[in-house]
């Protein structure tokens, strides 16, 4: 299977929401200062109110430096109270709420900043991350699109937004849109291995194997020891039933690079299955099963058991696949046809 099947590529991963957001936001927690360009004041209170707002903002920044998140939150709230239209202290207030895992309160502040200063990309970026962590990918995509328009105008060579937007489109299976974003990255840097890997994965998911193979080969010319690309190209070959010896060599190289990847062992098991080496295939798939739970892995394991004429185990693993993803008509049909065949054989024997 492709490594992305384990949820390892996209930033909305299975780690706890607070931990994942903090990892993702860490570069931003201390870099948003009072005079950040674009974070303008939407309205002007009295000079005295502005001065008090600034004083509390400075105290909040000091508390931030001392890792006193609770005190920082209090001071940012006071700063906002004196100057409600100032975007920067409100943005920092939202970040403080995030530090304390108060996601709804953070969301409210970022939405207000986006309304007060619509051209400020920081608020839209924070909103996109929060929406992604809540699996609201459509809303996250809208925020990234807003950022992209600003970024394309102000700094068209920055590829990060194209990457994040492409990943979001990919997660929503909006493949043509994802391809556009990854192509933009490659126009800026044709040797960007992240863009090449994601582009190849999109083509593979679209069953456009010739393009997927071409992209993965391009990646491996740049980075021959890229485990994900070795595995993915080997898996495409296995799916096609071609170049199986080469596929197995590449997948074994990927396993040597990352022995803890269940996806790699699944690919190895599937390539061995295509060579009709069922016992070796089952061993690889069992190793994968000790590392991950995945509907594709269980489907493959069921196919191997069927080939070994262990029909009860085949049905059991196919059912495990359905338990993880009920919307798989092909597997439903496999179970139905196998049970029908076994029933027919049983009746025939009784006669």
- CATH for 1-151, among 1.25.40.10, 1.20.140.10, 1.10.3720.10, 3.30.1330.10? 1.25.40.10
pLDDT band at 171 (very low <50, low <70, confident <90, very high): confident
Instruction: Of 14-28, 33-47, 178-192, give the lowest mean pLDDT range.
Output: 14-28
Mean pLDDT score, 139-158? 80
pLDDT band at 146 (very low <50, low <70, confident <90, very high): confident
Q: Where are the domains of the chain?
A: 1-151, 309-351
The answer to whether residue 286 scores a pLDDT higher than 60 is: yes
Beta-bridge mates of residue 86: 41
Using the structure block, give the residue that is written with the tokens 């092909």.
Answer: 330
Please count the CA atoms within 13 angstroms of the CA of 12 that sit on its side-chain side. 20
Q: What element of type H or E holds 57?
A: helix 47-65
Using the structure block, give the residue that is written with the tokens 């920044």.
Answer: 61
For the chain, the maximum distance between any two Cα atoms, rounded to a whole number of angstroms, is 99
The answer to whether residue 20 scores a pLDDT higher than 50 is: no
Tokens describing residue 218: 């391009």
First to last CA, the chain: 44
Q: What is the DSSP-derived secondary structure letter of residue 172?
A: T
For 300-309, write each residue's pLDDT tens digit: 999 999 999 9
Predicted confidence at residue 350, as pLDDT, reads 55
For 34-60, write each residue's pLDDT tens digit: 333 334 455 578 888 889 999 999 999
pLDDT band at 196 (very low <50, low <70, confident <90, very high): very high
- This prediction has a pTM of 0.69
Which residues have CB under 8 Å from 101's CB, separation 6+?
18
């Amino acid at each position: 299977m492709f490594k992305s099947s384990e949820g390892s590529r996209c930033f909305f991963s299975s780690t706890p929401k607070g931990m994942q957001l903090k990892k993702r936001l860490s570069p931003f927690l201390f870099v948003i200062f009072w005079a950040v360009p674009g974070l303008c004041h939407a309205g002007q209170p009295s000079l005295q109110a502005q001065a008090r707002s600034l004083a509390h903002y400075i105290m909040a920044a000091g508390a931030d430096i001392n890792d006193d998140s609770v005190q920082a939150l209090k001071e940012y709230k006071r700063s906002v109270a004196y100057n409600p239209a100032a975007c920067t202290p409100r943005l920092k207030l939202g970040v403080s709420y995030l530090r304390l895992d108060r996601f709804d309160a953070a969301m409210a502040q970022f939405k207000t900043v986006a309304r007060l200063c619509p051209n400020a990309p920081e608020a839209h970026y924070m909103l996109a991350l929060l929406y992604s962590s809540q699996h609201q990918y459509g809303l996250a995509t809208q925020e990234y699109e807003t950022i992209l328009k600003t970024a394309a105008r102000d700094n068209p060579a920055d590829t990060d937004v194209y990457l994040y937007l492409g990943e979001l489109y990919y997660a929503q299976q909006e493949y043509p849109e994802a391809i556009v974003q990854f192509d933009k990255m490659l126009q800026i840097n044709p040797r960007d291995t992240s863009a090449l890997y994601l582009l190849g994965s999109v083509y593979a998911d679209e069953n456009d194997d010739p393009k997927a193979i071409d992209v993965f080969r391009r990646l491996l010319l740049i980075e021959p020891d890229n485990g994900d690309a070795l595995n993915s190209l080997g898996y495409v070959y296995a799916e096609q039933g071609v170049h199986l010896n080469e596929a197995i060599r590449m997948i074994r190289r990927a396993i040597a690079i990352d022995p803890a990847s269940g996806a790699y062992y699944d690919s190895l098991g599937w390539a061995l299955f295509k060579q009709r080496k069922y016992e070796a295939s089952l061993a690889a798939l069992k190793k994968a099963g000790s590392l991950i739970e995945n509907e594709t892995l269980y489907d493959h394991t069921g196919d191997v058991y069927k080939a070994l004429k262990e029909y009860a185990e085949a049905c059991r693993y196919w059912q495990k696949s359905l338990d993880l993803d009920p919307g798989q008509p092909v597997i439903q049909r496999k179970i139905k046809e196998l049970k029908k065949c076994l029933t027919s054989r049983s009746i025939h024997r009784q006669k």
